[in-house]
Amino acid sequence: MSAALRKLLDAKPDSLRARGLNRFAPYLMNRIIGRYNRTLRAELAQLGLTTPKMRALAVLSVRDGIMINELCVYAVAEQSTMSRTLDRMEETGLIERRPDARDSRARLIHLTDDGRALFDTLWPSLSAADARLFEGVGPEDQDRFLAILDRMLRNIRAHEI
């Protein structure tokens, strides 16, 4: 696009109507994530799992031994919900809470071998759902898309993780 045309477009009075819903990222992202989460929730329910449980398994598979508040940030979960979820996961042997070696009052959450094995069985369908999102998008565009998402998260996040 020429600089002159860009300037002309930039000068147009901005409104959602002039822009169009499909040119407004928060709209598109809410539609996509709303559908993605709903489909996944139904699939998980068939396996007797919930979204917070799946997310706890996913995050701990990458960042084992973190505090509940960190887990809640990564998992986009309320602490009350996550606390109940972890109680059930501890009862069924999927996670363990162990004292922090650096601070005995704090407890860190660890995935057990059973928890890791359960997430390994879930990962192929999560990976397939991700691949379905990207159908028709080439590898370079996928890389650029992920880099922009990463930048967006740094632009907007309230926590340092």
| Interaction site with a copy of itself (CB under 8 A) | 1, 6, 14-17, 20-37, 39, 58-59, 61-63, 74, 76, 119-120, 123, 126-127, 129-130, 132-137, 139-141, 144-146, 148-153, 155-158
Which tokens is 151 given? 């930048």
Nearer to a copy of itself, 46 or 155 (CB): 155
Minimum distance between the CB of residue 104 and a copy of itself, rounded to whole angstroms? 28
Nearer to a copy of itself, 103 or 123 (CB): 123
Minimum distance between the CB of residue 81 and a copy of itself, rounded to whole angstroms? 13
Minimum distance between the CB of residue 141 and a copy of itself, rounded to whole angstroms? 6
Nearer to a copy of itself, 88 or 144 (CB): 144
Minimum distance between the CB of residue 125 and a copy of itself, rounded to whole angstroms? 12
- For residue 36, give the nearest of 55, 59, 19 by alpha carbon: 55
CA distances from 85 to 56, 77, 121 (A): 9, 10, 19
3-state secondary structure 5-74: HHHHHHHCCCCHHHHCHHHCHHHHHHHHHHHHHHHHHHHHHHCCCCHHHHHHHHHHHHCCCECHHHHHHH
Nearer to a copy of itself, 33 or 47 (CB): 33
Nearer to a copy of itself, 101 or 158 (CB): 158
CB 93 within 8 A of CB 114: yes
